[in-house]
Structure 1
């Protein structure tokens, strides 16, 4: 069961915070609705390991301005981890447990489906880092998504389960990302190809892990191999918007 904790309206979009249970936590998501009252295609947006922050909330708002119902979902029970070791202690076991990831993804999907503006036949999933891995696991679980887009996500899954993916998959990674080195990228390509998935992998030259995310002033420590790349961040966003326009057009 979801409930609204606050509502904000602009001339173009309406946003609200939704709380819902998942993974033994009370998740705090951000739902953005486009202008109008008709049903629209919808997008799940998964955050990176530290949690849901204004970066993904703004992405949801931007997609709502384009005409999508957009839910930026939570993975940490409303927390944003500033200590990278604390974040790793939380996300490492999660990333090793596809069933837990799917549970978090399904709970967010239920919130999106409960929104009357959502067209249940036109839903896509995009995600960053851990959130991207969660969206991919929804695809491997056979959820009927129209597109999957990930940036800096852990891309490989359990053998054979990619055959359940029903939609195009787009993935963006940095060439200098130590978490997704060439061997891991090759393993993803082999997995998708063997499963007959319509897949694309874009490698952004010179970019590190989390290249999509601007540096946050209050973060005092950053793990090695992590850093922003504003130009590639904008390119990756344009690629995701293009994927959505192709697979779940608003018109």
Structure 2
């Protein structure tokens, strides 16, 4: 009997040691792998419509592995400059892949408001070409490995706001569109072709945007039961999201002014729009 108990004790020790060894070798199932930090990668990209060579900039988190929504950003009337690239980087930090587009061709920039006006008019007066350039950018964005092609949006500033609103009104397949200090008297007004959620953030004291055009724009949106939000910031002028607005306003004697509060609030509203849309 004593030998039997001794044998059982030894066997128990062997089993215990074996189980302990296995548990030490097997990682705990509830351990969470460490997330990599956000690593923004920005790349210049060359693309084209049928008639125009275009120079853009795409930004994304290179450490993220999951597919994410893609966002087009259309520049102010000055052209594709550092400002629109900074906004692309900001969207990439929020978890999107953002493409700052070129609507003028060859990365062309305006040095004076007269040139900017001519460049902008050349695009808005030729909607087939404007649409082709916008669609070329969208095709490039969707071809990026990081983008979920079922989730897309477009935002724009000043001239760019008018572009993205016009594209949305013409039936572009977008989940959300946001326009900042943008005119709303558009070549194509809202109709049943509109699919996107709409956000417009403007300065209430922007002299470039008439009260009549706002009324007509809202009426058109209401007539098709559009999902939209129009925000007007009291005391705020044109180009309120750009820190270069004050200098440009003085240089060219234009009613432009940066407004930090409106800038921050409009960016927060954009994030809310994307959370709802995606």
**TM-score strictly above 0.5:** yes
Report the secondary structure of 1:201's partner residue. strand
Q: Supply the RMSD in Å over aligned alpha carbons.
A: 2.2
Q: What is the correspondence of 1:228-239 to structure 2 with a 5 Å cutoff?
A: 228-239=258-269
C-alpha distance in 1 between matches for 2:73 and 2:277: 16
Do residues 86 (structure 1) and 120 (structure 2) align? no
**Alignment-derived partner of residue 99 in structure 2:** 71
**8 Å Cα contact 1:42/1:123 also seen in 2:** yes
Larger proportion of strand = 1
Q: What is the correspondence of 1:119-198 to structure 2 with a 5 Å cutoff?
A: 119-158=148-187, 162-198=191-227
Deviations 1:8-61 (A, max 9, x none): xx9512211101124843221110112323211111111111012222211111
**Alignment-derived partner of residue 48 in structure 2:** 21
Gaps of 5+ in 2: 1-36
C-alpha distance in 2 between matches for 1:32 and 1:65: 9
**Alignment-derived partner of residue 33 in structure 1:** 60
| Aligned-residue offset at 1:227 | 2.1
1:223 and 1:181, CA in 2 relative to 1: closer, same or farther beyond 3 A?
Answer: farther
**8 Å Cα contact 2:103/2:130 also seen in 1:** no
1:222 and 1:243, CA in 2 relative to 1: closer, same or farther beyond 3 A?
Answer: farther
State the structure with bigger RCO (CA 8 A, min sep 6), 1 or 2.
Answer: 1
Larger proportion of helix = 2
Deviations 1:157-203 (A, max 9, x none): 35665321112101011111122121111111011111221111000
TM-score, with length taken from structure 2: 0.79
Report the secondary structure of 1:221's partner residue. helix
**8 Å Cα contact 1:84/1:221 also seen in 2:** no
**8 Å Cα contact 1:152/1:210 also seen in 2:** yes
1:231 and 1:93, CA in 2 relative to 1: closer, same or farther beyond 3 A?
Answer: same
**8 Å Cα contact 1:160/1:195 also seen in 2:** no
Deviations 1:184-240 (A, max 9, x none): 111110111112211110001111111111116985733522222222112111111
C-alpha distance in 1 between matches for 2:200 and 2:247: 29
Aligned pair count? 239
Do residues 201 (structure 1) and 261 (structure 2) align? no
Q: What is the correspondence of 1:202-221 to structure 2 with a 5 Å cutoff?
A: 202-215=231-244, 219=248, 221=251
Query: Computing the radius of gyration over CA atoms, which structure comes out larger, 1 or 2?
Result: 2
- My pick for the range that moved more, 144-153 or 98-107, is 98-107
- My pick for the range that moved more, 63-72 or 74-83, is 74-83
C-alpha distance in 1 between matches for 2:125 and 2:177: 20
TM-score, with length taken from structure 1: 0.87
C-alpha distance in 1 between matches for 2:268 and 2:253: 27
